[in-house]
Structure 1
Amino acid sequence: MTFKEEIKRRRTFGIISHPDAGKTTLTEKLLLFGGAIHVAGAVKSNKIKKTATSDFMEIEKQRGISVATSVMGFNYDGYKINILDTPGHQDFAEDTYRTLTAVDSAIIVIDGAKGVEMQTRKLMEVCRMRNTPVMVFINKLDRPGKDPFELLDEIEEELNIAVRPLAWPVGNGDQFQGVYNIFEENLYLFTPAKQTLEKGIEIKDIADQQLSDHIGDSAADKLREELELVLGVYPDFDHEAYLNGQLAPVFFGSALNNFGVRELLHAFLKLAPSPRPSITESRLVQPDEEKFSGFVFKIHANMDPNHRNRLAFVKICSGKFQRNTNYYHVGLGKQMKFSSPTAFMAEKKSIIDEAFPGDIIGIPDSGNFKIGDSLSEGEKLKFKGLPSFSPELFQYIENADPMKSKQLNKGIDQLMDEGVAQLFINQFNGRKIIGTVGALQFEVIQYRLLHEYSAACRYEPIKLYKACWIKSSDKAQLDDFKKRKVQYMAKDKYGRDVFLADSSYMLQMAQESFKNIEFHFTSEF
């Protein structure tokens, strides 16, 4: 297969949603289709001790929620599919935001009973910032839910995007009979509690009596009526508008019952984009360029707790990556060779010899990488769009076991590299402050320090409003500011100056009094 054909057959996408909409379940069913797994883990079922394949951290299995992005790659029908299953919980949104910089498109999962929820709106904003094409899968149709037209109106209004149904449900809840696939013009009948794949009944003409034979006269009449409305109200599907992030195709189904997933996958493979150009500070990088380039969008400590290993997740943007080849680490300014790059299947990894644009690879890391680092064949590229956001919650972190201070320091150091939270060292008293965007992250850090590093920590409250990175070309004013605000000055993990404002008033006054100082609320500046 030629280099261009390899790029063309790749589909790298993220699955995003509000917690509990069924995102991880959908991921599992897509993996079942690809033959990548043979038994789905019953997500959140305590009776069955299998857990979702993509939730592999101990705390995820206990909580039944995803707290870290996991990557899964498999081949299906001639395509190479890379799925990134992201955390839905808002306390881990930052991981999801960064993951969306590494995907070419996204599938948004919406609960048919609850409709569009808060976290879905936020994630759609991130997709819009990057013009990422999105598809919508309305899930849980086997349970009583909202009217499909009402749901479509809600998606258009709340997510601010035009929609076009490419499938249509026949009833819902107890009355749910199946889905008519507008895209392929056939009917799929729903058989509850079956984990097998249903074969479609081809019905080219919905006026055909065959439709009534399968679903009954009244359901058939209602479906004909609704389809007529759909075709009348919604414009024809425009592929270009979808690729530009202006139109979302909509599918219906029940991920838990493996229903509607096949239609979604087949349409997705035909419509979704192959790897797209990547934006850097100096130029646009095209995927079919000969020279290799890529960036680190995530770091995960302890993929295997027995070996204390760290992995840097690298999205390949151009060229072909080859094992044991020298590549230029732009941040460190030196050449590096990687002997065991890996491909992912949740926590299962296999060493690979080569990878292509769109692929996500794992590089074992002993501390050389940080989020946002670039690799190339010598060109000094800096990929854009990987910020750390200003935290909103802060606590002092203290050692609860003096005998384990070395383990605690190492644990904090490695977990902060993952970007789940940020570490600030107060320049006035030398104390360590953890800043996060969600309260649950404090719990996750405490749990992982104890279980992965055998280090116990405790938190102490601190009242802070915002952390902002500061810089200025006016050295005298910067020095004056640091002297006056000495109690509120800190350094981040990379030694940059951070101002810890304890109220919005204090921040406003500082901005007004020191005009020559820039205050940044993301670390990307």
Structure 2
Amino acid sequence: MGRASARLLAPVRALWSSREPLGSRWYLARHFAGLPRPKEDPDAWRERMDKIRNIGISAHIDSGKTTLTERVLFYTGRINEIHEVRGKDGVGAKMDSMDLERERGITIQSAATHCIWGDHQINIIDTPGHVDFTIEVERALRVLDGAILVLCGVGGVQSQSITVDRQMRRYGVPRLAFVNKLDRTGADPWRVIDQLRNKLRHNCAALQIPIGLENEFQGLVDLVHNKAFYFSGAHGEKVTEAEIPEDLVSFASEKRRALIEAISDVDDELAEKFLSDEPIASNELAAAVRRSVISLKFFPVFMGSAYKNKGVQLLLNGVVDFLPCPIEVSNYALDQKKKEAKVDLTGSPDGPLVGLAFKLEEGRFGQLTYLRIYEGVIRRGEMIVNSNTGKKVKVPRLVRMHADDMEDIQEAGAGEIVAVFGIDCASGDTFTDGSVKYTMTSMNVPEPVMSLAITPASRDATANFSKALNRFQREDPTFRVSLDQESGQTIISGMGELHLDIYVERMRREYKVESTVGKPQVNFRETITQRAEFDYLHKKQSGGQGQFGRVIGYIEPLPEDSEKKFEFENMMIGQAIPSNFIPAIEKGFLEAINSGSLIGFPVERLRAVLVDGAAHTVDSSELAFKLAALYAFRQCYAAASPTILEPVMSVEMKAPVEFQGSVTGDLNKRKGLIVGSGQEGDDCVITAHVPLNNMFGYSTALRSMTQGKGEFTMEYLQHAPVSKDIQQKLISELKKTRD
């Protein structure tokens, strides 16, 4: 029996009952029981860290992430029976713990769990696939060391697959691909691999080939170890190793060579052997795969069908064999005492405690704060310090999460993901033991694209209404609440209709607040298209000290590819305005761009340049110059040819080919720009850029056009200028509401 086979067939559940003190296995058994760490060799922590994997499972909506996680939990002994996402038993998957998730069959919140595979501890975060909940993916990837990108064997690389891959690149996360649903009609893993190369520009290759496809999908050939594996039993728990079927020997040899070529392009050690035509052993190939995955130069592709219980155990082996442990990923903090100098975090238990609060939830016993520990040890009952606020707090309760279940523990070390109760903090705060003042870099938070006016149906519910909005804002950085100064209405903003709909429904269920919701409103922006000069004198005399401030300069548009939304530049020569007033002038411009004069939305893509001015020895003040800048902007804004920007969405639509004409016609009516079309089996796939303002009610329209067979996803692309007629329409609508 080979090494890979022996690992597959090892009874994982034996770990929990085993009493043999065998190195890391014994440590993990004690660790999961919540017992304190025994005295150990000073370097033993490195061996222990080598046995930890922190991974996330991400994908396009409905690719099978939660189904895959359910199988992982079953095969590793964390759950005793399998439940489906939309199962007939009404239980639902373990990781979809919210009632809303089980009812709608989608993942809304990321959920954390942990399990044991062999002698390795795997911490898993299952993330949503819908673009409206993209912040859940962002914050999971911020704290993970590796990830699995799940792809549908039929749909392949879809719109949200591209978004998730972009997020993984942003945080430099090593990853594996799992081509799922190979049992479905039209499944073609080789087409998916081609899409990974062409659409996502990955250097990738298959580590496995399927034995049969669709209804004939029986098992997999492992190209690294040159063995075939079959999955049997009620839930595919019995894994049988065999020789490669004769009709696949030649094909397997060809694909193994392609795998070695792909890795040789990025790994010098393997390239030397490959070019010398030396035989490459399984362990040498596996080591090369691991090196190239960790260095982000190679993307290995696994295959299977989570729903049909095939291939998941091999994927778990891949996680252990090829994804990095916490100390193989470089993490750093910013030392606030040394002007944010970068400090490498080694993961040592003897170092100062450094942990990042990456997710908040309202638990049964108060706020639940998820922490990723990067260095040191956190212990129950000890004091920790919030580096962002300077507050010192005690750790009253430390738990390890399993979806919505909790296991109390006494301590946790670097590389672990835990949760703490009763700590008041915000998402993104860094905690230390107080001996250092380190902060971790924050995650990327996308801007909301849609708003709703919302009011509680009864006055009695006002307190719960405010409590719910405050909680949701703390939990989700993409959920914003503001007050419309003119109408007095409460405005909630988020990433899309579904995002806001979920929060309105959660308010009703969790806080018993019925709400009246206004028509969705798009978050427009304003900008300028040409340069305009300003020369404004703010002078006020009304007894006592007056106000005096003169600013001269110009405003101009920033380049479209600029990442900044606003720039202020002081090009003044001499001391016409004392330098201590310059920050106040910048503040004045910042305040002015909060509301443009066209439709009252924020102004962006703008640079304000100060070239001259004047000050008074007695009457000049910070307030005077702040007001001078504010009024100077309003004075010259109209001369800069302002225009309105609207959010444009990238829409991917999939429907049977016979409906292609009507669907394309409808997208044209909505002023969509079709940028791509193709065919997948009997379906057409259309990609278009459509203004968000024209996408309301599209799901209902698409269903009626395609007899319920069409589906679509959309994500924010950019803010783009509206046409002149739309601009006039928006301005006139605003006037009507004010009149």
- CA shift at 1:458, angstroms? 2.5
1:205-229 Cα distance to aligned partner (Å, 9 max, x none): x5xxxx34xxxxxx43664465466
1:272 to 302, 323, 338: 323
Alignment-derived partner of residue 285 in structure 1: 345
1:431-470 Cα distance to aligned partner (Å, 9 max, x none): 4322212221111111111111112223324443259997
Structure-2 separation of matches of 1:404 and 1:15: 39
Structure-1 separation of matches of 2:297 and 2:171: 12
1:304-359 Cα distance to aligned partner (Å, 9 max, x none): 4xx5x321111111111111111111122122111211101111101110112221
Of structures 1 and 2, the one scoring higher in RCO (CA 8 A, sep 6+) is 1
Q: Does the 8 A contact of 2:360 with 2:474 survive in 1? A: yes
Q: For 2:311, give the aligned amino acid.
A: G
Q: Does the 8 A contact of 1:183 with 1:267 survive in 2? A: no
1:369 aligns with 2:425: yes
Distance 1:471 1:182, change over 3 A: same
2:391 to 322, 334, 338: 334
Distance 1:351 1:225, change over 3 A: closer
1:297 aligns with 2:355: no
Q: Does the 8 A contact of 2:223 with 2:252 survive in 1? A: no
Structure-1 separation of matches of 2:367 and 2:298: 39
- CA shift at 1:471, angstroms? 9.3
Q: Does the 8 A contact of 1:318 with 1:356 survive in 2? A: yes
Structure 1 unmatched runs, 5+? 213-218, 490-499
Distance 1:231 1:286, change over 3 A: closer
1:245 aligns with 2:296: yes
After TM superposition, list the pairs within 5 Å mapping 1:101-120 onto structure 2: 101-120=142-161
Q: For 2:186, give the aligned amino acid.
A: G
Alignment-derived partner of residue 259 in structure 1: 310
Q: For 1:369, give the aligned amino acid.
A: C
Q: For 2:470, give the aligned amino acid.
A: D
Structure-1 separation of matches of 2:235 and 2:403: 22
Q: Does the 8 A contact of 2:231 with 2:309 survive in 1? A: no
1:346 aligns with 2:386: no
- CA shift at 1:112, angstroms? 0.4
Structure-1 separation of matches of 2:589 and 2:293: 52
Q: Does the 8 A contact of 1:176 with 1:190 survive in 2? A: no
1:196 aligns with 2:236: yes
2:517 to 459, 481, 493: 459
Structure-2 separation of matches of 1:385 and 1:164: 33
- CA shift at 1:361, angstroms? 1.1
1:134-165 Cα distance to aligned partner (Å, 9 max, x none): 10111111122343332211111222211132
Q: Does the 8 A contact of 2:380 with 2:397 survive in 1? A: yes
Q: Does the 8 A contact of 2:593 with 2:604 survive in 1? A: no
1:187 aligns with 2:228: yes
- For structure 1, which segment, 344-353 or 395-404, has the greater mean C-alpha deviation from structure 2 after superposition? 395-404
- CA shift at 1:512, angstroms? 4.1
Q: Does the 8 A contact of 2:447 with 2:478 survive in 1? A: no
Distance 1:198 1:71, change over 3 A: same
2:604 to 486, 507, 517: 507
Distance 1:232 1:85, change over 3 A: closer
2:71 to 9, 29, 52: 29
Q: Does the 8 A contact of 1:342 with 1:349 survive in 2? A: yes
Q: Does the 8 A contact of 1:392 with 1:466 survive in 2? A: no
After TM superposition, list the pairs within 5 Å mapping 1:466-477 onto structure 2: 466=525, 474-477=583-586
- CA shift at 1:362, angstroms? 1.1
- CA shift at 1:363, angstroms? 1.2
Q: For 2:438, give the aligned amino acid.
A: L
Structure-1 separation of matches of 2:255 and 2:330: 37
TM-score w.r.t. length of structure 1: 0.85
Structure-2 separation of matches of 1:280 and 1:448: 36
- CA shift at 1:513, angstroms? 4.9
SS in 2 for 1:101: helix
After TM superposition, list the pairs within 5 Å mapping 1:2-17 onto structure 2: 2-17=44-59
1:252-276 Cα distance to aligned partner (Å, 9 max, x none): 1111122111111012112211113
After TM superposition, list the pairs within 5 Å mapping 1:31-70 onto structure 2: 31-45=73-87, 47-70=88-111
SS in 1 for 2:133: helix
Structure-1 separation of matches of 2:425 and 2:587: 30
Structure-2 separation of matches of 1:221 and 1:103: 38
- CA shift at 1:364, angstroms? 1.4
Q: For 1:434, give the aligned amino acid.
A: I
Structure-2 separation of matches of 1:298 and 1:162: 33
Distance 1:327 1:106, change over 3 A: same
What is the total number of aligned residue pairs between the two structures? 484
TM-score w.r.t. length of structure 2: 0.62
Distance 1:470 1:358, change over 3 A: farther
Structure-2 separation of matches of 1:377 and 1:323: 13
Structure 2 unmatched runs, 5+? 1-26, 28-43, 265-287, 335-340, 527-563, 569-581, 611-628, 631-646, 648-739
Q: Does the 8 A contact of 2:181 with 2:304 survive in 1? A: yes
Structure-1 separation of matches of 2:93 and 2:514: 28
SS in 1 for 2:199: helix
RMSD: 2.7
Q: Does the 8 A contact of 1:94 with 1:437 survive in 2? A: no
Structure-1 separation of matches of 2:452 and 2:189: 45
Structure-2 separation of matches of 1:190 and 1:72: 25
Q: Does the 8 A contact of 1:70 with 1:84 survive in 2? A: yes
1:478 aligns with 2:587: yes
After TM superposition, list the pairs within 5 Å mapping 1:81-230 onto structure 2: 81-190=122-231, 194-203=234-243, 206=244, 211-212=245-246, 219-220=247-248, 223-224=251-252, 226-227=254-255, 230=258
Distance 1:409 1:471, change over 3 A: farther
1:25-60 Cα distance to aligned partner (Å, 9 max, x none): 111111111100011111112x22120000001110
Q: Does the 8 A contact of 2:373 with 2:415 survive in 1? A: yes
Q: For 2:49, give the aligned amino acid.
A: I
1:75 aligns with 2:116: yes
- CA shift at 1:298, angstroms? 0.7
Q: Does the 8 A contact of 1:255 with 1:261 survive in 2? A: yes
Structure-2 separation of matches of 1:268 and 1:485: 49
